[in-house]
Structure 1
Amino acid sequence: MKRLIGVAVLALAAMSCQENTSQPVPTVEYHETKKVDTVDTYFGVDVPDPYRWLEDDRSEETEAWVDAQNAVTNGFLDTIPFRDELKARLKSIWNYEKVTAPFKEGEYTYFRKNDGLQNQYVVYRYKTGDDPETAEVFLDPNTFKEDGTISLSGLSFSEDGSLAAYSISEGGSDWRKILIMDVASKEIIEDTLRDVKFSGISWYKNEGFYYSSYDKPEGSELSAKTDQHKLYYHKLGTDQDADPVVFGATPAEKHRYVGGGVSEDNKWLSISASVSTSGNKMFLKDLENPDRPLITVIDNVDSDTYMLDNDGDTLYLVTNLNAPNQRIVKTNASNPSPENWEDVIPETEHVLSPSTGGGYIFAEYSVDAISKVMQYNYDGSLVREVALPGIGSAGGFYSKKEEKEIYFNFTNYYTPGSIFTYQVDSGEVALYRKSAIDFNPDNYESKQVFYTSKDGTKVPMIITHKKGLELNGKNPTILYGYGGFNISLNPGFSIANAVWMEQGGVYAVPNLRGGGEYGKAWHDAGTQMQKQNVFDDFIAAAEYLIENNYTSSDYLAIRGGSNGGLLVGAVMTQRPELMKVALPAVGVLDMLRYHTFTAGAGWAYDYGTAEDSKEMFEYLLGYSPVHNVEQGVNYPATLVTTADHDDRVVPAHSFKFAAELQAKNGGANPTLIRIEKDAGHGAGTPVTKTIELYADLFGFTLYNMGYRVLPEDVSNKIKG
């Protein structure tokens, strides 16, 4: 099947671009995707699933389809004349030293560093008190595999710092391996633990650690359902097969997410058990009296509660029970149920995200998605407000109790992240390390606006761009969104977005319902039968940008990943005329079957499932992107992105959506899919692959908006 791809050739004077009418219009010959007669019946309604066969990620036929689609996509991307320039600029701007805040374990101080273009950060160490310049390599993930596709995903030290356990991800998969190292010799000391998933590593003294996993599923480990999470204890010197199940062994009591954390004094193991991504039960295990039964703190999943810290038997808990914006309470471990809780830091009008360090509690509040940090004593008395270096996002403020100098980082959409020291007793803030990136934030600005969604709800959005931007409706704009799972989109710098804005691009991020910016009520307003609110909020954000002449439909791209990929898929099928380009990444796109793959059933709090009720089925069918691609509609230029090792949101979602678009799109815009090999949902992706991805995304976006060359200032940077 051949279809001509008509792309405008008029360049914009505002972008210092040149008209290039000689650029040939590329012809795309799509790979024709086989259809099958699979039909599912929900509440008496037959729903065809013609691309069901693409769910088999182990079949040779699916592999051949992936290769064929990549060939088509690469053929189109190769016609973009400035893609190599974009890649060169991305590589150039990425190539600077990046260092994280140091932390102390045992005799050593550790930090992570990337020299510039290393695929993975390297862990360094030096003897505490020595000159940091004497630091040596402790752990280099770049040596795990030459192409950087095996990444370090977790690192945890025993009580005295003499042992380290670290987890690795192969090809971006959520399945992990855990290795145990003698810190002094840097030698691996026992067999590797395998088949670990959605897990931390929490040491008990120097004897062993707690971790979580599922039983290995039948069928494909990348797509088969994983439904019963368990917490294990690994005692050093024993085989993994002998690791006892601490929690989750009862099949009748299903928990999809189970985790455990040991208190700093090694007295308590706090256990969280959830059936979905929202709400948890909480239990305590007395590690000083291991034969004592588990202590129940909260026995239902109607709220979210976790242990922040303890002082012996006094527990400090963070909870949204009767406090949608969260509060900190204290209780005694002898009788820790909610009726015995006492407020330490009560709920306020702003969402609370606390941490502890240096013997204090640091309460970070989200004020319209902007950070405000308050320091408290453990009795709830206010010490001071932390003086942040600007308006943006602050994070960190964590250390062991005895540390009196702690670290935090600060960033916003145009300010590269910097690390600051904070003296907990005096409140003194000092710059520890400034980013060395080749980017001048003084040339850029952010503006927060509040726009009105379809039902009258006020929604905040931060718009970032070069200073002096002309509001002429012709600025290439990326509208990025998420809107789900109680996750907040706070201002943060992105190297890739810096390149986008260098070219005169606008970057806009609305804080949609479904997120966590305004607490539990804001989250719930974008879930299940209210999910359309999220899409309406995003559509209203696009309309605001157009009405205020930041951009127009010809120069607007929408982008989002995972739940944000669902957002893009739903909005582009509901309002295809609103944007020129759509970039759904690793999206949840088949809303009738998402819960049948890997840990997808745990997302039901946000989505509901097609099996819940006739009403829920009809609601999901009404917006499911795979099921709402209509024959003959002119859809925006679309580049679907996914990865073959994504076992969080399996690539079959993206495969089916791309196949539907290619079969039914009635316009001339390209509808392509880019499938990364040896990569997963995003975490741990090598720098080389990340640079290539953004060169393709930005190249595809600008090319379909009509650009033929890069702005002169970017080209000069590259040439210089």
Structure 2
Amino acid sequence: MKSLSLATLTSAFCIMASNAQSLKYPVAPSDNTVDTYFGVSVPDPYRPLENDTAAATAAWVEAENAVTRAYLDKIPFRDDIHKRLTALFDYHKHGLPWKKNGWYYFYENDGLRNQAVLYRTRSLDKAPEVFLDPNTLSDDGTVALTGVFFSHDGRHAAYTISRSGSDWTEIYVMDTDTKQLLPDHIEWAKFTGADWQGDGFYYSAYPAPEKGKEFSNANENHRIYFHRLGTPQSDDILVYEEPDQPLKFFSASVPDDESVIFVSGSGQGLGNTLMVRSLADKDAQWKVMSPTQDYEVAVLDVIDGTIYIYTNYGAPRYRLMTATLDNPAMDQWKELIPEQKGVLTGVDFTGPDRMILTYNTDASNHAYVYTLEGRRIREIQLPSIGSVGFSASRKHPEVFYAFTSFAYPSALYRYDVDKNESTLYRGSDIKGFNPDDYVTEQVFYPSADGTEIPMFLTYKKGLRRDGSNPVYLYGYGGFNISLNPSFSAQRILWLENGGIYAQANLRGGGEYGEEWHLAGTKLNKLNVFNDFIAAAEYMIDRGWTNPGLLAIEGGSNGGLLVGAT
């Protein structure tokens, strides 16, 4: 695709804007519904649209799609965009390898496959074999692989799938030696993985839905079951439930030594409850580790009877704590690594006596090597400002990490913990794209109340700040989610045609811990909108762009953000 000039783009967008003003949208189903909250009447005229199976709703969706399709088909350069995007997406995407039972496993997409293929090999310098190709799970591509969970001995792998984008989960089991499916098949599970103990695994599920309402029933009474291989699902054992808390949902986890089972409960607070029970004694009772959903509490591992816990209990930016299996209650926990300036976002154990801790500082990652006793040894030097993820295990000393940033597709590195050396293992090459042609900078701008908000700007080198640059401003601001540097092939099309990609780290996210999150929730929600508006004003006031060339977008919770601003 030839680069589209700004004049061509502006002319085309003017034509499109004119066409948009003449669009005639279908009338949505509505009624006179009014709800009263604390004496305040709140109209909800589009309540009928909540009935997603109604004929009127289906007809309205079909009519909306027809309007959209007719508009998109008239975009004069749409085919050129499609061709260039296809070329940008057509590159090898490598996943981090991990080791299990003598095999290295890793995901890889050789270009435009809908889903990455799971490969394995005995040695990373030898050609791998396909272990599981999710693209073959359905003829029409509507079945998505959502997770693969290996037994602790590596003999079996349970994998979870979703059909047609549904939240409902099915579980299948493979023999890893033969790669053959076993007859075990779990249906109507949801929000679950598969955590193994011996010859079976734990999973989470709701009661099977009423026929005809599989996708509209309310989710209530989540439970944890144990499935033993070779038995029907009807024989699965109910392990945990809280009938008096129908809106909570639960997940189970079992450490490698299979000594205990942990159950986390969440859904009605900012964090989760946590229970633990011995697996050595069939009559053992549940012990409460965390009784409230006020804090996030995650068990990382159990080593020689010590529980390693990642939590924001008493630490809005998170810390690492320990507990004993004999006395695991929260008031008996001990601090191993205290809260730091950055937000602790990841802990990976490597070899018998090392940990790698990842911190988020000003919305980008830094990584450090620690001892199991909590002593910091050194910082791992990453390639530049960006985001990192590690693959490591206590069972062997090999460490891999993936690094990415706005102009750099994910690259894999080997890291030698003893030598403190990183070497490139696998990179990514996109035809017609050179990362060195672009620059990313971080700026800080004041919001309405004076709070300094960080924002990343990515653009082509040599760009002039003359107020004539189109800007794509993205924000989210919610649910404690951080917007860190990441690569997107579709953004490259925007950048190579002279656009600026701006990503604002609004309050409501997790960039600076729980305090930053709470500063954008409930009665503080207005801060999120003000932060986003201030980002746009900053781009205009500093000469990056003008109001006519600035677009805003936000996905999911970000849709509320865009609608409000």
Q: Return the TM-score normalized by structure 2.
A: 0.94
Q: CA deviation at 1:515?
A: 0.7
The CA deviation string for residues 467-506 of structure 1, in whole angstroms up to 9 with x for no partner, is 1111122222111111111111111111111111111111
The CA deviation string for residues 361-407 of structure 1, in whole angstroms up to 9 with x for no partner, is 111111101111111111111222112111111112x3221221111
Change (3 A) 1:558 1:209: same
Q: CA deviation at 1:408?
A: 0.6
Among candidates 98, 104, 107, match of residue 103 of structure 1 = 98
Q: Aligned partners of 1:255 and 1:475: how far apart in 2?
A: 48
Among candidates 213, 223, 228, match of residue 230 of structure 1 = 223
Among candidates 87, 109, 113, match of residue 118 of structure 1 = 113
Higher relative contact order structure (alpha carbons within 8 Å, sequence separation ≥ 6): 1
Structure 1 range deviating more: 555-564 or 351-360 = 351-360
Among candidates 163, 171, 179, match of residue 156 of structure 2 = 163
The CA deviation string for residues 298-318 of structure 1, in whole angstroms up to 9 with x for no partner, is 212221111112213211111
Unaligned runs of 5+ in 1: 1-10, 572-720
Indicate yes or no: 2:25 matched with 1:33. no
Q: Aligned partners of 2:421 and 2:148: how far apart in 1?
A: 30
Pairwise mapping of residues 42-121 of structure 1 onto structure 2 (< 5 A)? 42-121=37-116
Q: Secondary structure at the match of 1:399?
A: strand
Pairwise mapping of residues 428-467 of structure 1 onto structure 2 (< 5 A)? 428-438=421-431, 439-467=433-461
Q: Tell me which residue corresponds to 2:291.
A: 299
* 1:358 partner letter: G
Indicate yes or no: 2:545 matched with 1:559. no
Indicate yes or no: 2:484 matched with 1:484. no
Q: Aligned partners of 1:299 and 1:159: how far apart in 2?
A: 29
Q: Aligned partners of 1:316 and 1:195: how far apart in 2?
A: 32
Q: CA deviation at 1:196?
A: 1.4
8 A contact 2:184–2:229 mirrored in 1? no
Q: Return the TM-score normalized by structure 1.
A: 0.74
Q: Aligned partners of 1:530 and 1:216: how far apart in 2?
A: 39
Q: Aligned partners of 1:199 and 1:499: how far apart in 2?
A: 37
* 2:467 partner letter: G
* 2:266 partner letter: S
8 A contact 1:57–1:220 mirrored in 2? no
The CA deviation string for residues 180-229 of structure 1, in whole angstroms up to 9 with x for no partner, is 11122222112321111111221113x11111122245573334321332
> Greater share of helix residues, 1 or 2?
1
Q: Tell me which residue corresponds to 2:376.
A: 382
Q: Tell me which residue corresponds to 2:331.
A: 339
Q: CA deviation at 1:540?
A: 0.8
Q: Tell me which residue corresponds to 1:190.
A: 183
Q: Secondary structure at the match of 1:28?
A: coil
8 A contact 1:277–1:485 mirrored in 2? no
Q: Secondary structure at the match of 1:192?
A: strand
Q: Tell me which residue corresponds to 2:134.
A: 141
8 A contact 1:155–1:164 mirrored in 2? yes
Q: Aligned partners of 1:463 and 1:313: how far apart in 2?
A: 47
Q: Aligned partners of 1:517 and 1:38: how far apart in 2?
A: 39
8 A contact 1:179–1:188 mirrored in 2? yes
The CA deviation string for residues 515-550 of structure 1, in whole angstroms up to 9 with x for no partner, is 111011111111111111111111111111111121
8 A contact 1:267–1:312 mirrored in 2? no
Pairwise mapping of residues 385-534 of structure 1 onto structure 2 (< 5 A)? 385-396=379-390, 398-438=391-431, 439-534=433-528
Identity %: 45
Q: Secondary structure at the match of 2:81?
A: helix
Q: Aligned partners of 2:124 and 2:498: how far apart in 1?
A: 46
Structure 1 range deviating more: 365-374 or 260-269 = 260-269
8 A contact 1:215–1:228 mirrored in 2? yes
Q: Aligned partners of 2:14 and 2:207: how far apart in 1?
A: 59
The CA deviation string for residues 667-691 of structure 1, in whole angstroms up to 9 with x for no partner, is xxxxxxxxxxxxxxxxxxxxxxxxx
Q: Tell me which residue corresponds to 1:326.
A: 318
Q: Tell me which residue corresponds to 1:621.
A: none
Q: Aligned partners of 2:300 and 2:152: how far apart in 1?
A: 18
Change (3 A) 1:31 1:262: same
Change (3 A) 1:21 1:210: closer
Q: Aligned partners of 1:290 and 1:497: how far apart in 2?
A: 55
Structure 1 range deviating more: 254-263 or 264-273 = 254-263
The CA deviation string for residues 244-300 of structure 1, in whole angstroms up to 9 with x for no partner, is 22222x311345231111112211212111233621111112112232101211212
Q: Tell me which residue corresponds to 1:245.
A: 238
8 A contact 2:5–2:497 mirrored in 1? no
Q: CA deviation at 1:37?
A: 2.5
Structure 1 range deviating more: 412-421 or 190-199 = 190-199
Provide the aligned C-alpha RMSD in A. 2.1
Change (3 A) 1:100 1:13: closer
Q: Aligned partners of 2:513 and 2:229: how far apart in 1?
A: 41
Indicate yes or no: 2:519 matched with 1:542. no
Q: Aligned partners of 2:445 and 2:417: how far apart in 1?
A: 39
* 2:471 partner letter: T
Q: Aligned partners of 1:310 and 1:410: how far apart in 2?
A: 28
* 1:378 partner letter: L
8 A contact 2:269–2:293 mirrored in 1? no
Q: CA deviation at 1:12?
A: 9.8
* 2:165 partner letter: G
8 A contact 1:482–1:561 mirrored in 2? yes
Q: Aligned partners of 2:451 and 2:44: how far apart in 1?
A: 36
8 A contact 2:29–2:57 mirrored in 1? no
Q: CA deviation at 1:130?
A: 7.2
8 A contact 1:15–1:503 mirrored in 2? no
Q: CA deviation at 1:231?
A: 1.9
Q: Aligned partners of 1:33 and 1:293: how far apart in 2?
A: 54
Structure 1 range deviating more: 371-380 or 45-54 = 45-54
Q: Aligned partners of 1:84 and 1:570: how far apart in 2?
A: 33
The CA deviation string for residues 628-662 of structure 1, in whole angstroms up to 9 with x for no partner, is xxxxxxxxxxxxxxxxxxxxxxxxxxxxxxxxxxx
Q: CA deviation at 1:22?
A: 11
Q: Aligned partners of 2:356 and 2:501: how far apart in 1?
A: 31
Q: Secondary structure at the match of 1:431?
A: strand
Q: Aligned partners of 1:370 and 1:259: how far apart in 2?
A: 30
Q: Secondary structure at the match of 2:540?
A: helix
Q: CA deviation at 1:101?
A: 1.8
Q: Secondary structure at the match of 1:154?
A: strand
Q: Aligned partners of 1:421 and 1:492: how far apart in 2?
A: 20
Q: Secondary structure at the match of 2:539?
A: helix
8 A contact 2:269–2:294 mirrored in 1? no
Change (3 A) 1:21 1:184: closer
8 A contact 1:421–1:429 mirrored in 2? yes
Q: Aligned partners of 2:268 and 2:175: how far apart in 1?
A: 37
Q: CA deviation at 1:341?
A: 1.8
Q: Tell me which residue corresponds to 1:221.
A: 214
> Greater share of strand residues, 1 or 2?
2
Q: Aligned partners of 1:21 and 1:251: how far apart in 2?
A: 56
Q: Aligned partners of 1:18 and 1:549: how far apart in 2?
A: 18
Q: Tell me which residue corresponds to 1:348.
A: 340
* 2:378 partner letter: R
Q: Secondary structure at the match of 2:56?
A: helix
The CA deviation string for residues 323-352 of structure 1, in whole angstroms up to 9 with x for no partner, is 111111112111122332222111112111
